[in-house]
Every structure is written in C-alpha cells, then in structure tokens.
C-alpha cells in the first residue's frame, strides 16, 4: 500500500507527483490535438467542433475519477487488471481480468500507432517529397528507437519524460501564442446554419464522432495507474496526477482548438489536398509567423509525438506483467529484466503490435484506427471498470480508500453513458469498417482463449474460484 516498501526483486517506487503528472500529460497531449482538429471539424461540419473537445473533457474527467479512487485504493502494477481482478473474482473468477489483458494488448498499441501516424504526417510538412514507403520505414524506425530507449531503469526514464514533457508544453504554447497573434473572431465563431440543432439528422452522429475523437485526445490520463507499483505515496499521488493532468490538458485543448479555428479557415481542414488537413499546427505558424517558425515548431511537434509513444509504451508494457505474475496470463510476461527491473517481453510485444497498427493506419486512415481502438477498449476496460467501482464498494467496504469519488455515483453514471454513446454510433461513423463487429469478434476470441488457459491451469470454470482480498489484508497488517 501507500508508502510500503516494494517486495524483493519487484518494482521500485520512484515516480513522484511532478513526474507522474508529466507522464500523464505527455501521453494525453502528444500528437493528438495536432492531428484531430481537422477530424473534429469534419465530424461537426464547422467551428462548432469545439463542442467535441468539451464533451471529451467531461467524459475524461468523470472516468478519471473512477481511475482515481481505484488507483489510490489498489496501487499495483497493471492498472485495470488489478481493479477488475479484485471486483469480478467473486462470480467469474479470472475471466474479466484475463479479457482486459487480452484486449489491452491490442488497444494500447493501437493508441500508440495513431501517435506514430501523426508523427509521419507532420514529418511530411518538413519533407514534402516523403513517399509512402519512406514514411512507413521512418515510422517503424522511430518505434524501434522508442523501445531501445525504454530498455533501462524507471529512474532514468522519469528524467527523460520530464524533458520531453517540457518540449510538449513549449510546442503547444508556441502554437497557442501564434494563433493569438493572428486570431480572427469571425473565423472562430461564425457557425453554419443549424450547427447546434439537436433535431437535425446529422447532429447526434456528428456529436458521437466528435465525442470519440475528443476522448481519444484525452486518453492517457490513466497512464500512471498502470505504474501504480512504481509511484511514491500512490494514495495521494495517483488521484492528484490524474485530475491535474485532465484539467491542464482541458485548458490547453480549448485554447489550441479555438485559436486554430481563428487563424485557419475550417474549410481548408476538410480539403485532403490542403496542408491544413494533415499538419494544421504548421499551417497556423505559417499563416502567422512565417515558414521558418512553422518549420521550427513542427520539429517540436515531432518530439511531442515521440514523447506520447514513449510514455505510452512505458505504461502499457506493465499491463501483462502483473497479470502474469499473478498467474492469470502467459507466464513469460512475468519476468523482469534482471538488471533494470522492467517487463522486457511486454515492452517488446507491444512494440511489435504498435508497428503493425502503424502500418494499418498508414494504409487506411487515422479515423479508422481511432474507432477501432475505442470500440475494443469500451466493454472490458471502460464499462467493466465503472461497474467494478460499485462492486468493490459493496464487496469490500473496509478497503482502504485514500481518495473517494465526490458526488458518487453521478460521475460514474455520466462516464458510463458517454462510453455507451461512443460504442452505439461506432459502426455508423465508420461505414464499411464495422469496428463494433471486430471488437466483439476479438472479445469472443478472448473468451475462447480464456477457456483453453483455464482448462490447462485448472481454475474456474474448471476448478475452484480463488478469492483474494489482498489489499484489505495489506491494510489490516499495516494497521
């Protein structure tokens, strides 16, 4: 629990509040807003697209409070795996946490793949002649470099993350400042007819698409929850890092979105042949401060994109490790690097899947990746975790909770409804791609894999359920 010494041979608690917030914000911001502003404008059909970022912020904040309570109460490596294991062990044994790890091994790398797709898009601004093959090879090379840099101890990684976080903040501040110098209220606040008409047949599908893009831009507020076993004083640090990172990114996104719309005509963002549709931040700098400044800030944006993939692989690689150490996933993932104490196989596997996702995004489109990753994560992580919060309050009322959600259960209900809207409209907003069907197929395959694994391990439903309220036990022993 909070402040307790790590077990021999296990993780080391060395990540403080500043570093934890930096890790979250680097993963949240990354390349996201720089590539999704045009997608959001296309979804809403005008500058009212700012609504999508506001809706995404509300959903992220409400869902972040779920993560805050669970993370503070059970600060183990693996995040959702730990919470789902504790909550659903009473009825379905290890099925739900197994399915979470199964889906996380797909949706986390897909998130990182979108960052690398954006990296290559902005690289195309600096190198207009960059072809598809050269772009593919460059992206794959950068992913390999990220894995190489993460092949070291967490204390070194935390320092690297702080540097990249500073670059991310600098790039965003420069774009916002440049937008302010050339801001036109007429461009930013002139809306098409019926832009906010809820009775229009296009409003709700556009809102759902915007909500999906918006919450994608905020994903990463939970990164330090995956590093719970490596966070100092997690009962205080985890909730604060989650809430502070969401509020900070919310302010940044609103300034960035409104400022961009006040400089670049939104019609340009919907034209695939215009640079504003792929490198909108560079277009803002070009319009306001000239091409030299645009080139310089584009370099910073590339570093920001690199940082988002870096921190995402850092947190995501820990997910299968805790499950395997608990005997609920493939055993090789439990091994830590003998010297630097990080999950080597998890890092390598997610690096490979990120590379595959990057190639899929390059040869389809970015919105396809976003729809796929959100539908894959909704059922087993987002919705199941919200249910887990109420289950644990009922099943383990004496669990030590350094942080308790305010206005419970209202934020949880809002988060649940928001995720349901995203899932319900996914197929309609991705015609021909069928992300809902793909997500259900992956979930069904995971159920089949679980049955095979459970039969070999002789656990439920082929053996007795194993009930372990370990965090209650730890608190009792600490008392």
Tens-place pLDDT, residues 306-339: 887 887 787 778 778 877 887 778 778 888 877 7
- 392: which 2 tokens? 């644990």
pLDDT grade for 233, boundaries at 50, 70 and 90: confident
**Which pair of tokens denotes residue 467?**
């009930």
- For residue 42, is pLDDT > 80? yes
Which pair of tokens denotes residue 35? 């590539």
Q: Domain coordinates of the chain in residue numbers?
A: 20-463
Beta bridge partners of 227: 77
Task: Say if residue 122's pLDDT is above 90.
Answer: yes
Taking the model in full, what pTM does it have? 0.84
For residue 265, pLDDT over 50 is answered with yes
Give the pLDDT of residue 157.
64
State mean pLDDT over 275-297: 93
Proportion of the chain above pLDDT 90, given as a percent = 46
- Distances 424 to 33, 62, 172, 176, 434 between C-alpha atoms, Å: 24, 19, 33, 34, 12
Whether the pLDDT of residue 441 is over 90: the answer is yes
Phi, psi values for residue 465, rounded to 5°: -70, 145
Give the residue with greater pLDDT, 330 vs 478: 330
Query: How large a percentage of the chain has pLDDT more than 70?
Result: 93
Please provide the average confidence, as pLDDT, over all residues in the chain. Answer: 86
For residue 149, pLDDT beyond 70: yes
Of the CA atoms within 13 Å of residue 144, those in its CB half-sphere come to 6
Range of lowest pLDDT (18-32, 117-131, 145-159, 236-250): 145-159
Tens digit of each residue's pLDDT (9 = 90 or more) over 269-278: 999 889 999 8
Whether the per-residue pLDDT at 475 is higher than 60: the answer is: no
Label residue 476 by pLDDT band (50, 70, 90): very low
Domain topology for 20-463: Amino acid/polyamine transporter I (1.20.1740)
Q: Is the model more confident about 273 or about 200? A: 273
pLDDT of 196 reads: 86
End-to-end CA distance of the chain: 11
């Amino acid at each position: 629990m909070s402040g307790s010494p790590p077990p021999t041979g296990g993780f080391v608690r060395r990540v403080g509040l500043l570093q934890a917030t930096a890790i979250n914000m680097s993963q949240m911001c990354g390349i996201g807003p720089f590539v999704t502003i045009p997608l959001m404008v296309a979804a809403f059909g005008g500058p009212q697209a700012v609504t999508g970022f506001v809706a995404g912020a509300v959903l992220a904040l409400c869902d972040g409070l779920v993560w805050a309570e669970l993370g503070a109460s059970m600060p183990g490596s693996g995040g959702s795996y730990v919470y789902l294991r504790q909550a659903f062990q009473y009825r379905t044994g290890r099925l739900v946490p197994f399915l979470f790890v199964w889906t996380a091994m797909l949706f986390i790398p897909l998130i990182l793949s979108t960052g690398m797709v954006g990296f290559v898009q902005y690289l195309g601004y600096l190198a207009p002649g960059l072809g598809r093959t050269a772009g593919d090879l460059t992206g794959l090379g950068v992913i390999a470099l990220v894995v190489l840099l993460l092949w070291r101890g967490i204390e070194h990684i935390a320092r690297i993350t702080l540097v990249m976080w500073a670059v991310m903040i600098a790039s965003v501040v420069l774009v916002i400042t440049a937008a302010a110098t050339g801001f036109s209220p007429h461009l930013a606040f002139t809306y098409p007819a019926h832009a906010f008409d809820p009775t229009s047949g296009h409003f709700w599908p556009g809102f759902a698409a915007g909500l999906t893009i918006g919450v994608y831009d905020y994903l990463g507020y939970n990164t330090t929850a995956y590093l719970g076993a490596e966070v100092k004083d997690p009962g205080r640090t985890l909730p604060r890092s989650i809430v502070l990172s969401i509020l900070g990114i919310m302010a940044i996104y609103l300034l960035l979105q409104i400022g961009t719309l006040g400089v670049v005509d939104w019609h340009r963002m919907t034209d695939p042949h215009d640079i504003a549709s792929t490198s909108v931040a560079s277009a803002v700098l070009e319009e306001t401060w000239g091409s030299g400044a645009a080139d310089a800030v584009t370099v910073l944006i590339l570093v920001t994109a690199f940082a988002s993939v870096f921190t995402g692989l850092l947190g995501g690689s820990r997910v299968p490790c805790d499950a395997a150490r608990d005997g609920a996933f493939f055993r090789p993932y439990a091994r830590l690097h003998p010297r630097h104490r990080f999950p080597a196989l998890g890092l390598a596997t997610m690096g490979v899947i990120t590379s595959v996702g990057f190639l899929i995004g390059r040869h389809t489109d970015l919105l396809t990746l976003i729809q796929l990753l959100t539908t894959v994560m909704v059922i087993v992580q987002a919705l199941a975790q919200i249910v887990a919060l109420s289950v644990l309050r009922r099943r383990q009322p004496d669990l030590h909770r350094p942080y308790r959600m305010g206005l419970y259960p209202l934020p949880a209900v809002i988060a649940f409804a928001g995720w349901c809207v995203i899932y319900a409209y996914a197929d309609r907003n991705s015609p021909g791609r069928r992300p809902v069907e793909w997500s259900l197929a992956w979930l069904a395959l995971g159920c089949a894999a679980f049955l095979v694994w459970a039969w070999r391990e002789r656990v439920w439903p082929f053996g007795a359920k194993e009930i372990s309220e370990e965090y209650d036990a730890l608190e009792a022993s600490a008392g």
